[in-house]
Structure 1
Amino acid sequence: MRLTILLLVLSCFQLNAQSKPDLSYYLPQNTSYNQSIPTPESVIGHQVGEWHITHDKLVQYMRALAAASDRISIEDRGTTFEGRPLLLLTITSPTNHNNLETIRQTHIASTENNTVDTNNMPIVIYQGFSIHGNEASGSNASMLAAYHLAAAQSNDVKDLLDNAVILFDPSLNPDGLQRFAYWANTNKSNNLNPDPNDREYREVWPGGRTNHYWFDMNRDWLPVQLPESRARIASFHKWLPNILTDHHEMGTNASFFFQPGIPSRTHPLTPKLNQELTKSIGNYHAKAFDKIGSLYYTEESFDDFYYGKGSTFPDINGGIGILFEQASSRGHIQESANGILTFPFTIRNQLTAALSTLEAGKNMRQEILQYQHDFYKNARKEASKENGKGIVFGDEKDAAKTYHLAEILKRHSIGFHEIKSDFTTNGKRFKKGYAYIIPKNQKNTRLINAMFEKRTKFQDSLFYDVSAWTFPLAFGLDYAEGVSTSNAGAQVKELNMRSGVVSAKSNYAYLMEWHEYYSPKALNKILESGLRAKVGMKQFSMNGKTYDYGTILIPIQNQKKSADQLYSFLQKVATDCHINIDAVNTGLTEGIDLGSNQFRALTQPKVAIIVGDGIRSYDAGEIWHLFDQRYDMRLTKLDTRSLSRVNLSRYNTIILPSGSVSATKQLKEWVQNGGTLIGYRSALNWLKRNEFIKLDFKKMERQATDISFEQRGNFNGAQVVGGAIFEAEQDRSHPINFGYKNDRIALFRNNTMFMKADKQSYNNPIRYTKTPLLSGYISKPNLDSLSLTVPFKVNRLGGGNVVVFTDNTNFRAFWYGTNKLMMNAIFFREEL
């Protein structure tokens, strides 16, 4: 009985003691602080860890620090989708602040010169916190780290600031952080409850991990498609930091992880010395955690393979990326396998890792600076062997996709050139204004290799993230390596998207080809305005030009606008959407005439997407972003909780992302009455089970022989398709493939749904080739199963259609090459 009472008392003491910690719990001992520097509590109104910091209060505190300290300057680099500022603090000594631009220029010069003097060069360290908004201990710890650096009077801190420039990003994901803080704070009890079943630890969909459009932003460092990413990548390339830290959280029952990760899962383009230095830095973390008695581990999980993650992106840019993963309280206090886990404890661990990084950076300063210098020196040697060679990429019928890949190169400080004139290589034609050449002999040649490489052989068969991301394949562009730079024209300094134009005014009709990326945006504007438009089901020629499958016809007759009004309207559409529209004055063609029944009338899409519990938020967010940001189209988000009560007749198309719903009867009746239901990935299982569509999948049998109990995890993991690129054949005459000029397409897939082809070949408009692997890892049994299967099917159900895709056509907002598959399913739904 006494023991029970004692344990209860100790438990209560722990809960109460940790609920309102003061600064002494967090900060280094025996350090005095400048009283003129505001503490977090004096600005935000509560102790760090008492409540989850909201982004507005975090901003308020960082601005207060910058105003009070001559060690800190602050810049606003833009805003999130929700309008929150993307702050960056620069923390260094007042003397360094007075010479900051000179220091930066000297630092960059050290990556471009053959010799370097590191004696008096400060090291540059980028510290980023909580890119996943519901992994909030990082951003909460950032207040303490910034306060310590601004106010500490110790010689150690002064010496650090003399020898380091710290680029300090207190919240890599402001929108997600704000969303999660609201959840954790509104569900906090006065009597803190560690029961993991409490609502506090069960966020509502979609949770605070992601940004406004539900993207995992820690996958966007390389694609750079989101405003938060663009801000930090601009800062990165402006400074080229030597160390970059990325503070995360993991499962509640874990401890603390710091890199290096599993050695065999490091990308081959990353120098071996990078991992050795990472391990040396890790010794500082270990020492700091030993001092405060916190458990940790390293080299057992996570990896350094995909360069789109914050902890790996620096590795291909001459820096050292370091991942921190803290076991998460997911609220304010929670039971765990290691005892009661409190929010303040998680914050203290994050602060400890942040400060141990700075200590390592200061003590290893010259060694790490020399590493970065040698990285670029060696890269220049490699690049010089490629002098006169380059990579050409483009699409002679789609300037926009070409532009958007060039846009990424620009953001990564990669130089590229216009082509002097049209030329053909490897059977592909590259057209001036629609193609660019990247000389290989340039500073960022290793980053170029990382973006353009195709890799199918690997040391390890397990990946924390995707195993392939070849950019020209993602964009659906033609490209060729090893081309002569004699084809290069002027270097592109200012990148501008090609202007759209209407060729002339017509009193008969206008034609718009479907190849350009923004053609769906243009067609939606046309239909939304009440104009009539038709799609050509066959090819035809007129005025010396061949028009491909999917050409859009806008007749003059019987429109709601006069000929003059229509011309003015289409001029604006062409300009806004960067497309060409041809005026024609006759309906007579070589092939189908413009009055042919092979031109099918189109109707305005009225599209909804199912979101909420049971739906994969990443997939839903990518689709929402595509409609809202790329194609300027309205998309109604229908929540699974209320789906059975919605009048679905308002919509002619409903998208079901990966997941399942309960409103089976309502959806089936809607399809039977003429609706088009588009299902993705795991939604196919639900559609098959509920008899929306007949699907036949290949079944995989995993037979393990001579596999030990210890090896079972790796064996099963090797059968996962974590993310690779595969080739499929296209029947370009089928409406799902309208707008594609080649008969092959690169598809991204990260699942093992192998859908059998139909016996009728014309029902297989997209089909994986016999040897489909283009880039990435897949086990041989899975590759054999994927061969000659299909990623797309469409079946009638009553008066409507059910369209299914096994693969994600909108992956991470940079898989431009397959976005049009979804648009085709929407605009040409009645012709599929």
Structure 2
Amino acid sequence: MLPEPLTDGPTANSDEGRPLTYYLPDLEYDPNIPTPEEFLGWQIGDWHISHDLQQAYMRALAASSDRITLEVIGHTYEQRPLLNLIYTTPENHGRLEELREMHVNWSSPNGGMSDGDLADVPGVLYQGYSIHGNEASGGNAAVMAAYYLAAAPMSEVGELLTNNIIVFDPCYNPDGFNRFASWANTHKNKNMTADGQDREYSEAYPRGRSNHYWFDLNRDWLPVQHPESQARIAQFHRWKPNILTDHHEMGTDATFFFMPGESTRVHPMTAPVNQELTARIGEYHSAALDRIGSLYYSGEGYDDFYYGKGSTYPDIFGTVGILFEQASSRGHLQESENGILTFPFTIRNQVTTALSTYEALENLHDDLLSYQREFNLEGVTSDGYVIDADGDPGRSRELADILARHGLPVQHGTSEEGEAYYVPKTPFSEAAFEPILEFEDSLFYDVSTFSLPMAFNLPYRQVSGGTPTDMRWTSYQMGEATAPFDRSRAEYAYFIPSNDYYSVRAIYELQDAGVRVKVSDQSFSINDGATEFGRGTAMVPVYGQEMSAEELHRIVTEVEDETGIDILTTNSGTVDAGGLMLGSRSAYQTLRKPEIALLIEGSTSSLDAGETWHLLDQRFGIPITKLPIDEVGSSDLSRYNTIIMPDGYYNRLDESVATALKEWMGRDKVFITVERAGTWAAKNGLANLTERKTSDPDSAITQRPYEKAERDRGGQVLGGSIYRTVADLTHPLLFGMKREEIPVFRSGTLLYEPAENIYATPVRYADEPLISGYSPRGFAQKAAGSAAVIVSGSRGGRTISFASNPNFRGFWYGTNRLFMNAIMFGTTINGSTVE
């Protein structure tokens, strides 16, 4: 049963006293279960529920209903709990773990179950809301859906809960959800206005869409860089649901969307039956929305290509992912081309489709389970992938952690030649490893490729027959102990090898403890060649420090434990023949401790700024000042020796910003720009670079059909592809890197011409640059030979400009090593090599 049809239209607002039946069917609900209105003192839709109130209500439901087991599966950065409510019958709760194992074994190659067991296997629904915190109708609808499952009579939900288990995730993104609720409630009028120009409908930077570090969590299902995603993905693989739903919002003038999306924009690894089931589930949503008279659409606008978003990630595991998109009131009441859009109305549509999902789960139980079993059993092979650690324990270990989070049994291999990792070839690993260059469609809702080994700049190969016999293999566990460290105390100096991704973190931690650190721009060896060191090796002399040798050794030991890097020792200032002694000023430069300001707010991209903030704060432990860009002209910039300007829209940036930055620039100063920030810097005398023209209209075309216009525009967009670059490994920006070819992630068509100074373009695009993903016609040829990084500057300072984002979504480890090198080693770049 569904709510009755609308009698008051979509304009019913919070002052009209909506009953429970505005959202839910008119049933005899259990009076022992508190309604949302009884608990809150106001009806859902009157205000935006904050996360703490939502959480409190979920706990109240769990305490009053024997249909619920409440689990805390993790915490956000702001320490808000991530709650799951597990719904099923009281009888099923008595053997919940047994039922979970039965469900998981059903689709496992080693599960020991047969097709005849189908009737006994429970279906599982993972139902989640508001991964974008300012798409609030989902998280508010979750309150009503949770009440319905707890309080509806068993005559209504008994069969659903007897045969199925519902993993209910009321809020995917508590930090962003709470941020937005506070904004919307703070600016609500008693006499509400529908004027979209009111401050209520225009959030302040960084807005509530993102999490604490301003990341879009709906792009983090594949990278799993954040605690919200890590907890959710662990729960996904623990339960292996048959359906996963993801409740979102879209533009105010839209209506309501549900999957399937564009049929030509489905990843080729997704089974056709998945889309068939998606369409069948959609029939239940259509019927439900018809009943209440809501406008809706399906089959257009959205796609199922990128496995890093919530409605598509499930598809590569035999689960059916469903996206819901509700037109957003972005507050409480807004004008739209479909009439006045109220917050309660948006919630009602989300509740309605949550309930129609239960109906679909109940009626399609056998088909969903059969599909899941077939998909996973047919995907079994004896092939696998070997990933070379590339001499970098930190970077390769991080990739192994990601693969393990996705349920892959990772093996760690060692030999005299080095380390490697092995994972079996599954539908997921194939999709996450292999490049893709052929597409049915040229339009993408998100990126067109996402190869994990390429993101980490790690070589890999496909093998047959399991793990290769030329290495010793053991099961890898996340966070496993590293090899024992050489704890001996140095009499002369300590060395931090440059090959490890976290070497810059080790250097910073030493500097922060007051230790003087130098860096070598040459490779060398000691002990008659037994120990080799590459360019970028950091050297910590025992002599001349402001602490005793014993205290220095204690600090070094703590840094080893913190970073997992084995810091080596020497008792002599002499190296092997061919290298310069450790006291050489020409080979070793003293590093200054980075003091960093990151420009934010105004016209900066909050996503790009957040990626930088997260990288430095979480991964490298380096404190930064988040400096509003509009306040640069009035701030004391002398506190910083490094300023980072992320991508953004800078055409109207106040001149005082450029004036202040030019006055700040000087010796030992590093200014780092990303994408369009570099163009702005060049126009304002802070960088020396030139954009390469990419527009080249075909003058032979004089007319195109009107209906092709939107698709033609979309086909010119580079939404996300992987390009090959060639690097100068002798340059300080490449310290610690081993191979000249480096995959970089590109979005957008901004290109730079190589610098005239023949040393100032340390990374450039290869002659045949496209490795994987869609690229607009002719763009790869235009990109060939262009600059990926340019080093320029003025007044003795260095401006380091990245043509593409090196920190994309927090998981492009292969290029954010260059970014960290720019921060730590930028001042060591020889002035004669700067453009």
Q: Same fold, TM exceeding 0.5?
A: yes
Deviation at 1:420, TM superposition (A): 5.2
CA distance in 1, matches of 2:440, 2:416: 41
Q: Is 1:470 paired with 2:458?
A: no
| SS at structure 1 position matched to 2:60 | helix
2:771 maps to 1:771: no
What is the one-letter code of the residue matched to 2:509? K
The alpha-carbon deviation at position 338 of structure 1 amounts to: 0.4
Instruction: Tell me if structure 2 keeps the 8 A contact 1:137–1:346.
Output: yes
One-letter amino acid of the counterpart of residue 522, structure 1: A
**1:455 alignment partner, SS class:** coil
Q: Partner of 1:627 in structure 2? A: 616
TM-aligned CA deviation for residue 499 of structure 1: 4.7
Moved more, 105-114 or 479-488: 479-488
SS in 2 for 1:172: coil
Q: Residues of 2 paired with 1:338 and 1:702: CA distance?
A: 40
Match of 2:92 in 1: 96
CA drift at 1:701: 2.3
Shift of 1:405: 1.0
SS of residue in 2 equivalent to 1:654: strand
Is 1:534 matched with 2:518?
A: yes
Shift of the 771–148 alpha-carbon distance from structure 1 to 2, 3 Å rule, reads same
Distance in 2 (alpha carbons) for counterparts of 1:483 and 1:401: 25
After superposition, the Cα gap between the structure-2 partners of 1:652 and 1:173, relative to the gap in structure 1 and judged at 3 Å, is same
Structure 1 residues 165 and 366: alpha-carbon distance in aligned structure 2, compared to 1, 3 A threshold: same
Please name the residue that 2:254 is paired with: 254
- Equivalent position of 1:509 in the other structure: 493
- Mapped to 2, the partners of 1:370 and 1:556 lie a distance apart of 66
1:494 aligns with 2:483: no
The corresponding residue for 1:426 is none
- Aligned residue for 1:331? 331
Contact 1:500 1:577 (C-alpha < 8 Å) held by counterparts:
no
Q: C-alpha distance in 2, partners of 1:89/1:499?
A: 41
- 2:601 is aligned to 612
3-state secondary structure, aligned to 1:802 = strand
- Taking a change above 3 Å as real, the CA distance of residues 16 and 465 of structure 1, as seen in their structure-2 partners, is closer
Query: Which amino acid is the alignment partner of residue 566 of structure 2?
Result: N
Amino acid at match of 1:73: T
Shift of 1:714: 1.2
1:569-580 mapped onto 2 (5 Å cutoff): 569-580=555-566
SS at match of 1:265: coil
Distance 1:508 1:16 in 2: 75
Partner of 1:90, secondary structure, is strand
In structure 2, how many angstroms separate the alpha carbons of the residues matched to 1:240 and 1:250?
A: 28
Instruction: Look up the match of 2:628.
Output: 639
Relative distance call for 1:293 and 1:322 in structure 2 (3 A) is: same
Distance 1:314 1:118 in 2: 21
Query: Aligned partner of 1:583: which letter?
Result: T
For residues 10 and 597 of structure 2, the distance between their equivalents in structure 1, rounded to whole angstroms, comes to 52
Letter in 2 for 1:76: V
Cα deviation code 1:705-741 (max 9, x no counterpart): 3532111111111121111111111111111111101
Contact kept, 8 Å, 2:13 with 2:343, in 1: the verdict is: no
What is the match of residue 588 of structure 1? 574
Secondary structure at the aligned position of 2:793 is classed as strand
Query: How far apart are residue 288 of structure 1 and its match?
Result: 0.5
Residues 62-73 of structure 1 aligned to structure 2 (within 5 Å): 62-73=58-69
Structure 2 Cα separation of the partners of residues 93 and 783 of structure 1? 57
* Secondary structure, counterpart of 1:206 in structure 2: coil
| 1:302 corresponding residue in structure 2 | 302
- The answer on 1:32 being equivalent to 2:28 is yes
Distance of 1:246 and 1:439 partners within structure 2: 29
Could you tell me which residue of structure 2 aligns to residue 7 of structure 1? none
Contact 1:671 1:802 in 2 (8 A): no
Alignment size in residue pairs = 803
**What is the deviation of 1:552?**
0.8
CA contact (8 A) 2:12 2:345 kept: no
Residue aligning to 1:735: 732
One-letter amino acid of the counterpart of residue 615, structure 1 = T
The TM-score with structure 1 as length reference comes to: 0.94
Q: Distance in 2 between matches of 1:828 and 1:692?
A: 19
1:468 is displaced (CA, Å) by 1.2
Q: How big is each residue's C-alpha offset from its partner over 1:283-320, in whole Å with a ceiling of 9 and x where there is no partner?
A: 11011101100000111111000101100011001100
1:556 aligns with 2:539: no
Could you report, residue by residue, the CA deviation over 1:542-575 in whole angstroms, capped at 9, with x for unpaired residues?
Answer: 2122221111111111111122221221111112
Q: Secondary structure of 2:132's partner?
A: coil
Q: Does 1:754 align with 2:763?
A: no
Distance 1:328 1:372 in 2: 34
The letter of the residue matching 2:521 is: M
Matches within 5 A, 1:155-170: 155-170=155-170
Between the aligned partners of 1:398 and 1:74, the Cα distance in structure 2 is 41
The residue that corresponds to 1:3 in the other structure is none
Q: Distance in 2 between matches of 1:134 and 1:813?
A: 22
Check whether the contact 1:32–1:154 (CA below 8 A) recurs between aligned residues: no
1:239 is aligned with what amino acid? W
In structure 2, stretches of 5+ residues that fail to align are 1-6, 830-835
Are the counterparts in 2 of residues 500 and 578 from structure 1 also a CA contact under 8 Å?
no
- What is the rounded CA distance, in whole Å, between the counterparts of 2:606 and 2:18 in structure 1? 36
Contact 1:403 1:497 in 2 (8 A): no
Matches of 1:694 and 1:730, distance apart in 2:
20
Give per-residue Cα distances to partners, 1:16-37, cap 9 Å, x unaligned.
56654221211123x2211111
- Superposition pairs for residues 289-688 of structure 1, below 5 Å? 289-380=289-380, 383=381, 387=382, 389-419=383-413, 421-422=415-416, 431=418, 434-440=419-425, 445-482=426-463, 485-487=467-469, 489-492=472-475, 494-495=477-478, 496-499=480-483, 501-502=485-486, 504-543=488-527, 544=529, 545-589=531-575, 590=577, 591-596=579-584, 597-659=586-648, 660=650, 661-662=653-654, 663-672=657-666, 675-688=669-682
The SS at the match of 2:264 is helix
Aligned residue for 1:620, secondary structure, equals helix
- C-alpha change, 1:201 and 1:194, in structure 2 (3 Å) is same
CA drift of 1:116 comes to 4.5
**CA shift digits 1:597-635 (9 cap, x unpaired):** 221111111011011121101111111111111111111
Answer yes or no: is 1:54 the counterpart of 2:39: no
> Is 1:110–1:116's contact at 8 Å kept on the other side of the alignment?
no
TM-score (norm 2): 0.94
CA distance in 1, matches of 2:16, 2:679: 46
Deviations 1:629-669 (A, max 9, x none): 11111111101242222100000000001123432211111
Deviations along 1:519-548, one digit per CA (max 9) or x if unpaired, are 111100111222221111112222122221
In the TM superposition, residue 107 of structure 1 has moved relative to its aligned partner by: 0.8
1:584 deviates by 1.1
Aligned amino acid, residue 796 of structure 1: G
Q: What is the CA-CA distance between 1:50 and the residue it aligns to?
A: 0.2
SS of aligned partner of 1:768: strand
- Any gaps of 5 or more consecutive residues in structure 1? 1-9, 424-430
Q: 1:826 aligns with which of 815, 823, 828?
A: 823
Distance of 2:704 and 2:91 partners within structure 1 = 61
Q: Is the 8 A contact 2:723 2:746 kept in 1?
A: yes
* Offset, 1:497: 4.8
Which residue of 2 is the match for residue 216 of structure 1? 216
**Counterpart amino acid of 2:810?**
A
Whether the 8 Å contact between 1:261 and 1:302 is mirrored in structure 2 is yes
1:158: how far off? 1.8
CA distance, structure 2, for counterparts of residue 331 and residue 804 of structure 1:
39
Matching residue of 2:4: none
- Provide the rounded CA distance (Å) in 2 between the counterparts of 1:119 and 1:293: 36
Q: Is the Cα contact below 8 Å between 1:18 and 1:344 reproduced in 2?
A: no
Paired AA for residue 744 in structure 1: E
- Distance in 2 separating the partners of 1:568 and 1:701: 58
Distance in 2, matches of 1:669 and 1:793, equals 21
